Amino acid sequence: MAQLAFLGLGVMGGPMAGHLQKAGHDVTVYNRTASKATAWVDAYAGAMAETPRGAAEGADFVMACVGNDDDLRGVCLGDEGAFAGMKSGAVFVDHTTVSAAVTRELYAAAGDGGVSFVDAPISGGQAGAENAVLSIMCGGDQAAYDAALPVMEVYSKICRRIGESGAGQMTKMCNQIAIAGLVQGLSEALHFADKAGLDGRAVVEVISQGAAGSWQMANRYETMLDDHFEHGFATDWMRKDLGICLSTADETGASLPVTALVDQFYKDVQKMGGGRWDTSSLFKRLQALG
């Protein structure tokens, strides 16, 4: 078993760190709001530290799941950042969805200190974290990935190295691009069924067995029809992720017209007060339009 640190105990990070502790690893946690770290220790045992550096000292692997580029820099860099406390040869695994640019920046900074850095964004939402069935897409050096894989397998159903540093984040962008279009399509289908006087549940029961079927349809159509939009991954976070996608598309020359349109629909949801509603709230937007 390994000595681990886990930085960030939100709806994803908390359960992931818990799985590691339950698997027999020795986990020290850090969270910006200390009360969450205290609650985690009460629930899982393990230990907590007051700084990322304190959590990382002596760890073989340091896992992070925080909010955005600036949050990630904050827990990595500086006198109290994790890199300052990590021993030579340790591996930093970042599960945050951030830009490929900050990933490559931190990959280089870690290397300067004799530390490896793997970008490993996750998909599967809060339920995936709680049930240890996340999908993890990775970038970074093969040796660092191979070393960290047994740790990541504790809370994943699939984990793959896609390529060099930044490749994991680029793959996560593909994931979010695909989700945006799928959720909007499902929302429009349910909205159309309602306006046509059809039973939405009966419609989905039929079409989900054909080419229209998707994870979003199987897992979200009922809650959408029940006006329930509290499933973890918030619209605010989706807009953050789509912003990264669109910015990167400008850099690479990719064309993302549907993604850009759906991003504006999520902006409408925010204006409705739905920043914390989950991504399926695109349906609620259509309902509000009449």
> Please, are residues 46 and 75 in contact by the beta-carbon 8 Å criterion?
no
Report the DSSP pairing between strands 156-163 and 134-139.
Answer: parallel
Rounded Cα distance, 175 and 27, in Å: 30
> Please, are residues 70 and 78 in contact by the beta-carbon 8 Å criterion?
no
- Give just the sign of the alpha carbon dihedral 244, 189, 275, 289: positive
> Please, are residues 14 and 36 in contact by the beta-carbon 8 Å criterion?
yes
Rounded Cα distance, 236 and 100, in Å: 20
Q: Distance of alpha carbon 188 from its chain centroid, rounded?
A: 25
Q: What are phi and psi of 30, to 5 degrees?
A: -135, 140
For the purposes of burial, counting CB atoms within 10 Å of the CB of 109, is it exposed (0-12), middle (13-18) or buried (19 or more)? middle
Task: For residue 48, give the 3-state DSSP assignment.
Answer: strand
> Which member of 172, 240, 267, 271 is catalytic?
172
87 labelled catalytic: no
Among 152, 142, 69, residue whose Cα is nearest residue 104: 69
Report the DSSP pairing between strands 91-94 and 61-64.
Answer: parallel
Element (H, E) at 93: strand 91-94
Catalytic residues, by residue number, are 172
